[in-house]
Amino acid sequence: MISVEHRIPRDDMLLGIVRAEGLRSHQYPPGFDDRLRELLARRSEGLDAEEEGRRAAARDMLRNGKYKPTGRGKPANEYLLRAAVEPDYAFPRINAPVDICNYLSLLHIIPISLWDLDLSNANKYVFRLGRSGERYVFNTAGQEIELEDLVIGCRVQPGTHPTEDPIVSPVKDSLATKTNDDTTRVAACVYAPAAAVSASDLDRICGDFLDLLCACGESVEGGYSVLAPGSTIES
């Protein structure tokens, strides 16, 4: 069970939280490769008007303060879209949880974060805007992303003065909590622009996400919730 607080100061952004435990990172749902292949073929033909509207809305929800979602600051779903439509790019294949995350992000044209619950070593998380000076390493080359005014997810470390340690964002997730071959417990955040994704739509997306993750093992258990701005849930 994890606790998640939606503290992002805007009323047009929903969060979908998904948790799955007991999975095997290299066991895929039946037929997953075919589903991904069909989606990549569809995306190579471009987006329809509704999908393009969702892409634009997902980018707009990251316009906060100093943060501008352009260039390398675009939401992650746009990188996936580029990999799907440009022949010079190979669509990334990492492991089952990450590939499912990327599949759903490309399917729905919205960014999704994924993290290893054991590596994060926390039961409480908060989503807010990044503060001045906050950053984390996002790849093995040691590159960092500046987080000021970017939507981020933080693990909360308990104590007399609890600390909020940023680990994920709709652009790039922290290397410190990324999944690996030994991952068995994950959580994910689906970042949804309310103008283009209703609460019921997001609920269905999270349900599909959990169903796919539950097919990555014989005894996977988990849950999901949709968070409105200002709310806290346990999942």
The pLDDT tens digits for 149-167 are: 999 999 998 877 789 999 9
Are 97 and 181 contacting, i.e. CB atoms less than 8 angstroms apart?
no
Residue 20's pLDDT band (boundaries 50, 70, 90)?
very high
pLDDT, position 188: 98
Are 63 and 132 contacting, i.e. CB atoms less than 8 angstroms apart?
no
Q: Count how many Cα atoms sit within 13 Å of the Cα of residue 150 in the half-sphere of its side chain.
A: 28
What values do phi and psi take at 227, rounded to 5?
Answer: -110, 125
pLDDT, position 160: 74
Question: From CA 181, how far away is CA 192, in angstroms rounded?
Answer: 29
Are 176 and 119 contacting, i.e. CB atoms less than 8 angstroms apart?
yes
% the chain with pLDDT above 90: 93
Angle, CA of 204, 9 and 57, to the nearest 5°: 50
pLDDT, position 159: 74
pLDDT, position 3: 97
Nearest to 4 by CA among 134, 177, 167: 167
Q: Count how many Cα atoms sit within 13 Å of the Cα of residue 210 in the half-sphere of its side chain.
A: 18
Mean pLDDT of 84-107: 91
Strand order in the sheet with 13-21: 112-116, 185-193, 13-21, 221-227
Sketch the domain layout of the chain as residue ranges: 3-234
With a cut of 70, say whether residue 88 has pLDDT above it. Answer: no
The residue type at 100: I
Q: What is the mean pLDDT of the chain?
A: 96
pLDDT, position 235: 82
pLDDT digits (tens, 9 = 90+) for 174-204: 999 999 999 999 999 999 999 999 999 999 9
Question: From CA 95, how far away is CA 87, in angstroms rounded?
Answer: 22
- Read off the tokens for 179: 């999944």
pLDDT, position 144: 97
Residue 36's pLDDT band (boundaries 50, 70, 90)?
very high
Q: Per DSSP, what are the bridge partners of residue 115?
A: 187
Kindly calculate the radius of gyration of the chain based on its CA atoms and give it in whole angstroms: 17
Q: Tell me the CA distances in angstroms from 4 to 124, 184, 187, one per residue in order.
A: 6, 20, 11
pLDDT, position 89: 72
pLDDT, position 90: 80
Residue 220's pLDDT band (boundaries 50, 70, 90)?
very high
- Class of domain 3-234 (CATH, top level): alpha beta
Mean pLDDT of 122-144: 97
pLDDT, position 211: 98
DSSP annotation of 29 reads P
